[in-house]
């Protein structure tokens, strides 16, 4: 069933859109089923859980941290994480840089932009983003690569609102892309809204429940 749902979704995605299979809370068997159907990028939102799965599952899986990240957890995943989606402060970026430097690697990151109406969704606003990208402190970080932006729309049935929020994020993305050639990835869209997100310019969708079924917390 996971295989069928995964392949059905993949068949609808344009070539320029990358699928992150969001496997948070799901057991290893579920990830293996998706893996055997060809999926290699998995998204988790808890560091500990991601570390356990990384230890147990095939080593060619690319692990994306999609959740809100605490600085004191960065060290546990610095060795293997492929992309960090939710970087929402300069201090977090500094910590990721420090841990990557110790391991003699660099870590790709997306800056999270606050586009939703709700206060509860983390992220920078446009001004904070521009200040960060223009700062000398940021340019001195040699072990993180900011390769794009991530955002979450308001959790609502109102399609007009969701579309407006994604359009807003896309316009911010376009503006910084003209000045930063390493900006390539726009991570927006989940099970409920990824079709709208793709229409509005997403290049990476994070889909969980439509592949793996509802989560039991
Ligand atoms: C859980 C989660 C998703 C996937 O949500 P679904 O609605 O199950 O597709 C995507 N992005 C983030 C940041 C998440 O925490």
**What does residue 149 show for φ and ψ, rounded to 5 degrees?**
-125, 155
- Residue 31 is predicted with a pLDDT of 98
Looking at ligand 1, which residue's alpha carbon is closest to its atom 7? 191
Mutation probe of ligand 1 site: the residue of 2, 18, 22, 47 with most atoms within 8 A of C-beta: 22
Q: Ligand 1: does its nearest atom lie under 6 Å from the Cβ of 190?
A: yes
Q: Ligand 1: does its nearest atom lie under 6 Å from the Cβ of 110?
A: no
pTM: 0.97
Q: Ligand 1: does its nearest atom lie under 6 Å from the Cβ of 192?
A: yes
Residue 146 belongs to domain spanning? 2-212
Count of the separate structural domains present in the chain: 1
What is the percent of the chain with per-residue pLDDT over 90, rounded to a whole number?
94
In a domain, 140, yes or no: yes
Average pLDDT, the chain: 96
Residues 37-89: tens digit of each pLDDT: 999 999 999 999 999 999 999 999 999 999 999 999 999 999 999 999 999 99
In a domain, 86, yes or no: yes
Residue 24 sits in a domain whose CATH number is: 3.20.20.10
In a domain, 217, yes or no: no
In a domain, 14, yes or no: yes
Q: Ligand 1: does its nearest atom lie under 6 Å from the Cβ of 67?
A: yes
């Amino acid at each position: 069933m996971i295989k069928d749902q995964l392949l059905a979704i993949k068949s609808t995605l344009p070539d320029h859109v990358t699928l992150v299979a969001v496997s948070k809370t799901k057991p290893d068997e579920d990830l293996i089923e998706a893996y055997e159907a060809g999926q290699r990028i998995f998204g988790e939102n808890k560091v500990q859980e991601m570390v356990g799965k990384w230890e147990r599952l095939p080593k060619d899986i690319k692990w994306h941290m999609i959740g809100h990240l605490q600085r004191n957890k960065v060290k546990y995943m610095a060795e293997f994480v492929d992309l960090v989606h939710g970087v929402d402060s300069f201090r977090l970026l500094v910590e990721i840089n420090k841990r990557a430097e110790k391991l003699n690697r660099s870590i790709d990151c997306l800056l999270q932009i606050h586009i939703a109406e709700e206060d509860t969704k983390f992220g920078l606003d446009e001004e904070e983003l521009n200040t960060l990208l223009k700062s000398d402190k940021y340019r001195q970080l040699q072990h993180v690569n900011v390769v794009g932006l991530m955002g979450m729309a308001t959790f609502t049935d109102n399609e007009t609102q969701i579309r407006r929020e994604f359009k807003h994020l896309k316009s911010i993305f376009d503006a910084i892309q003209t000045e930063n050639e390493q900006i390539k990835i726009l991570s927006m869209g989940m099970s409920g809204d990824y079709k709208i997100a793709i229409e509005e310019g997403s290049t990476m969708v994070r889909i969980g429940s439509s592949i793996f079924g509802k989560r039991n917390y």
